[in-house]
Amino acid sequence: MNPQRATSATNNDAGHSRESSDIPLSVYDLTVAYHRKPVLWDVGFDVPAGALVGVVGPNGAGKSTLLKAVMDLIPRASGRIQVFGKSYQHNRRRVGYVPQRETVDWDFPVDALDVVTMGLYSEIGWCFPIRKKHRDIAQDALNRVGIGDLAHRQISQLSGGQQQRTFLARALVQDADLYLMDEPFAAVDAATERAIVEILREMKERGKTAIVIHHDLQTVPEYFDYVVLLNMRVVAHGPTNDIFTPENLQKTYGGRLTLLDQVSEAMRRRERSL
Amino acid sequence: MISRRCTAALTVACCALLVCSTLHAQPSPVSPRSIDKRTESTSWNQSLRVIFLRDYNTRVVVFGTTLLGCAGGMVGSFTLLRKRALMGDALSHATLPGIVLAFIIATRFGLDGKSLPFLLSGATVSGLLGVGVILLIRQRTRLKEDTALGAVLSVFFGGGLALLSVSQQMQQGHVAGLESFIYGKTASMGAHDIRLIMLAAIVCIGICLLLFKEFKLLCFDEEFAASRGFPVMRLDIVLMALVVTICIVGLQAVGIVLVIALLIIPAAAARFWTDQLSSMFAISGGLGALGGMVGAEISALFSRLPSGAMIVLVYTLLFSASMLLGRRRGVLIRGLRRLRLNRQIDRQHLLRAIYELRELTISATRNKFEPTRNQGFDVDRMQLLAKRSWSAGRLGTAIRRAVRDGLVRVDGDDITLTDEGMVEAARLTRQHRLWELYLITYAEIAPSRVDRDADAIEHVLEPEVISELEGLLARRYTDVPASPHDLGTASISPSLRPPGSEA
């Protein structure tokens, strides 16, 4: 994939990890297979600090699998992952995760504040009770995502966008340096989408990094300054301006021209606005 | 949270104290005089002794089943939410061959076949084996978990029954007590057995309280828990171990067939009362304890009745009551809510129908009415009936209610909006049109947000979206009912528009 980096990683491992310790995420030759079918194949890329990174690719391209493999949630067939130069387990506290909204049962008997507080459980520690200061942190996070007044609403009574904001708030309470988000913009209303983008930009200003799985190609140039084009393998990765081109998207998605037209239109809009 | 923990800890401490005092208290000596005096009131006296727990044995048994019920309810609220409720059933059924085998082996070696530790370890081994087979089938084949569960449950139980009849033909040892495991019989339990039950129940309750927050996270979002570094697998095993413990120690009191009731029914009943896990946990524990206590007492009162069946019947009563009366999700409260909603919708339809008929007339005659002022415009019943597909009876009811609320006046066959009704009708019509437009404009995401109760639009949608919709509304209808709320005049930037709305 990237022979240059591969050699530097093998020849000079110690020096490499020291110099890459401020790189939020490095993925080397990652292969993941379910049963005998590979889902990710020799995936490798770096993510620069303080970037908003969009991970883009067709359905079944392995986007969610990539995030899960980064967090050791599924076994890797091969490859290595470094989070700020160390293993994920070592730097777990610096990573915040926003899973897909559909992965949980929203009929569960908890309210929004409870869900957000879950982001603090590992800091509270085993068997220790939740205290007022933890609930205050959670309430602050809910205020930040704009649904502070819904803190005590049962989660099934929240709209889709509000549920997504609750998940985002749960990741925010950790004050992590790297955020992994699995389709936070899926099926949310315009106001929620704008709120999430605002929070992403605010994170970026504070030097945080976010890796976001995204489906809407039209908004990629507007939201992200770095993209990873994924379809089982990395088709291309780099700054949006260089990488998010019709040719690369053609390689990622195959010949779906209507999509590509939308993209070139979106890129033109971006150029005009710049 | 803190106070909840404190009370819970106190409860456990009290229970422990009670247990100790029960077990150390000597059976109250019965004076010979009272025996002599026994006449027709004997059975009544006996009943009273049972009810007020004056008998040492009854007292011990009742405390045991109470604690067991409480622990079952607490563990059950987690397994229910983890959607593992039936695992306990398979497990308990799978214990039978183990119990009988342990008995056979023990008698062969000349030991006391009915010593509880033997039987229960046999039960544990074969129960775990059953669960293991289920997991194996699920992993290695394409069969679903419920299929594997049903198959293993019946095969193990059938095997156990076969072994039981074999053991009945054995020469040594009498097998009579073993059947009590199938249906549960507290009468066959000794103080030692009950001490074991109490100890196990207290340990289970303690673990549930200590790991409350961790179990909550595990049941709600396993993946997130794993990403935060919680050992999800080990937590799951602890939870399963609690289920195993409850099932095994519950075997004697409740029986193989019914022990699952301890884990499912109180938790399911508690869910009707609350939307908070901590209260569900407490209520479930409470209901479990109550059922265990009352069931064991009934069984002690009428010595022919098996305790397991009695406990389950009491649970059934508690469950039915919760299902009917539950404050959050009970059948009655839901029915009431639906009825109220239907009435509200009927009223909204009535007011909107009158408003729209009036609107039509105004635009037809090009009259210069002030649209939101009531000018004594009236409609008749036939017009309203033709406007919607509602029965005359339903319309009549809706009109009567509206009259009572002072929204419309009825004069013979003519129906007029009052001033108050006019304001309300204009507001409802506007809301309805906004929702309609929202459904059209945001077809992708709208269904998850539409609130059938149109009153709530300002609470659900953001002001920007509303003002955008109002722009669209103004283009579509000539007469837009004015908004009763001040929504601000925020202009909408093009980026906020959903894809496709530019056209």
Phi first, then psi: what are they for A234, rounded to 5°?
-80, 115
Residues forming a β-bridge with A32: A40
Q: Which residue has the higher pLDDT, A35 or B10?
A: A35
Residue B3 scores a pLDDT above 50: no
Q: pTM for the full model? A: 0.81
Q: CA-CA distance, B315 to B294, in Å (whole number)?
A: 9
Q: Is A111 helix (H, G, I), strand (E, B) or coil?
A: strand
The span from the CA of B57 to the CA of B218, in Å, is 40
| Span A65-100, pLDDT tens digits | 999 999 999 989 999 999 999 999 999 999 999 999
Mean pLDDT for all residues in chain A:
87
Instruction: Please give the pLDDT value at position B20.
Output: 46
φ/ψ of B417, rounded to 5, equals -80, 140
For residue B5, name the pLDDT band (cuts at 50, 70, 90).
Answer: very low
pLDDT at B35 over 50: no
Q: What pLDDT, on a 0 to 100 scale, did the predictor assign at position B115?
A: 79
At B441 the pLDDT is: 72
Among B37-51, B132-146, B373-387, the least confident range? B37-51
Read off φ and ψ for residue A57, nearest 5 degrees.
175, 165
The DSSP line for B241-284 is: HHHHHHHHHHHHHH-TTTTHHHHHHHHHHHHTT-S-HHHHHHHH
Q: Is B183 exposed, middle or buried (0-12, 13-18, 19+ CB in 10 A)?
A: middle
One DSSP character per residue, A202-221 reads HHHHTT-EEEEE---GGGHH
Q: What angle do CA A92, A95, A100 make, to 5 degrees?
A: 115
A114 touches chain B (CB under 8 A): yes
Residue B464 is predicted with a pLDDT of: 67
Query: pLDDT tier at B246 (50, 70, 90 boundaries)?
Result: very high
Q: How confident is the model at residue B444 (pLDDT cuts 50, 70, 90)?
A: low
Residue B380 — pLDDT band, cuts 50, 70, 90?
Answer: confident
pLDDT computed for residue A10 by the predictor: 38
pLDDT confidence of B460, banded at 50, 70, 90? low
For the ranges B86-95, B397-406, B478-487, B490-499, the lowest mean pLDDT is seen at B490-499
Nearest CB neighbour to A110, from listed B228, B277, B495:
B277
CB nearest to A92's CB, from B229, B280, B462: B229
Taking the C-alpha atoms of residue B336 and residue B327, their distance in angstroms, rounded to an integer, is 11
Q: Cβ contact (<8 Å) for B5 and A129?
A: yes
The two beta strands, A209-213 and A178-181, are parallel
Q: What is the pLDDT of residue B445?
A: 58
Find the range with the poorest average confidence among B20-24, B156-160, B179-183, B446-450: B20-24
Assess whether pLDDT exceeds 70 at residue B361. Answer: yes
Residues pairing with A181 in the sheet = A98, A212
d(CA B370, CA B364): 15
Q: A151, A191 in Cβ contact below 8 A?
A: no
Has residue B21 got a pLDDT over 50? no
Query: Does residue A222 sit at the B interface (CB-CB below 8 Å)?
Result: yes
Residue with tokens 């009579």: B176
Q: How confident is the model at residue B280 (pLDDT cuts 50, 70, 90)?
A: very high
Cα–Cα distance between B193 and B316 in angstroms, integer?
A: 26
In this prediction, residue A131 carries a pLDDT of: 94
φ, ψ (nearest 5 deg) of residue B182: -75, -45
pLDDT per residue as tens digits for the range B484-502: 433 333 333 333 333 433 3
pLDDT at B253 over 90: no
Amino acid identity at B447: P
Residue of A131, A191, A222 lying closest to B462 (CB–CB)? A191
- Read off the pLDDT of residues A133-158 as tens digits, 9 standing for 90 and up: 999 999 999 999 999 999 999 999 88
* Residue B325 Rama label (left phi>0; alpha psi -120 to 50; beta): alpha
Q: Is the Cα dihedral B275, B281, B283, B287 positive or negative? A: positive
Provide the shortest C-alpha distance from residue B497 to chain A (in Å): 7
DSSP B18-63: HHHHHHHSPPPPPPHHHHHT--TTHHHHHHHHHHTT-SHHHHHHHH
pLDDT of residue A132: 95
pLDDT at B31 over 80: no
Residue B171, SS3 per DSSP: coil
Determine the 3-state secondary structure of B422 from DSSP. helix
pLDDT at B226 over 60: yes
Question: Rounded to an integer, what distance in angstroms lies between the CA atom of residue A234 and that of residue A61?
Answer: 10
pLDDT of residue A172: 94
pLDDT band at B36 (very low <50, low <70, confident <90, very high): very low
Over residues B460-475, mean pLDDT: 70
Average pLDDT over residues B302-318: 89
* Nearest Cα to Cα of residue B57 among B176, B250, B192: B192
Backbone angles phi, psi at A97, to 5 degrees: -125, 130
Q: pLDDT class for A17, splitting at 50, 70, 90?
A: very low
Q: Is B84's Cβ below 8 Å from some Cβ in A? A: no
* Four-residue CA torsion sign, A10, A11, A13, A19: negative
Interface of B with A in 454-473 (CB under 8 A): 460-462, 464-465
Rounded Cα–Cα distance for residues B217 and B211 (Å): 10
CB nearest A118 (choices: B224, B229, B275): B224
Q: Across residues B14-24, what is the average pLDDT?
A: 47
In which band, very low, low, confident or very high, does the pLDDT at B443 lie, cut at 50, 70 and 90? low
- Rounded to a whole number of angstroms, the distance between the first and last alpha carbons of chain A is 32
C-alpha–C-alpha distance, residues A155 and A109, integer Å: 8
Does residue B108 sit at the A interface (CB-CB below 8 Å)?
no
Q: What is the C-alpha separation between B93 and B116, in angstroms, rounded?
A: 18
Q: Which two tokens stand for residue B273?
A: 């009362």
**Inter-chain residue contact B226 with A97, CB threshold 8 Å:** no
Does B478 score more than 60 pLDDT?
no
Residue type, B209: L
For position B479, what pLDDT does the model report? 54
φ and ψ of B108, to 5 deg: -60, -40
Which residue shows structure tokens 């087979």? Answer: B133
The residue-averaged pLDDT of B317-334 equals: 94
**With contact defined as beta carbons under 8 Å apart, do A252 and A272 qualify?**
no
How many CB atoms are located within 10 Å of the residue B286 CB?
Answer: 18
- pLDDT by residue (tens digit) across A167-206? 999 999 988 999 999 999 988 877 888 899 999 999 999 9
Rounded to whole angstroms, how far apart are CA atoms B170 and B193? 26
pLDDT single digits (tens) B61-85: 899 999 999 999 999 999 999 988 8
Calculate mean pLDDT across residues B263-280. 96
Taking phi over 0 as left and psi of -120 to 50 as alpha, with beta for the rest, A29 belongs to left
Scanning A22-61 for CB atoms below 8 A from B yields: none
Region B169-194: mean pLDDT is 74
Residues on chain B touching A95 (C-beta within 8 angstroms): 227
Query: Which segment, A121-125, A207-211, B400-404, is predicted with the most confidence on average?
Result: A207-211
Asked if A215 and A183 touch (Cβ cutoff 8 Å), the reply is yes
Question: For residue B438, what pLDDT is reported?
Answer: 74
For residues B251 and B193, what is the distance between their CA atoms, to the nearest angstrom? Answer: 11
In contact, A111 and B275? CB cutoff 8 Å: yes
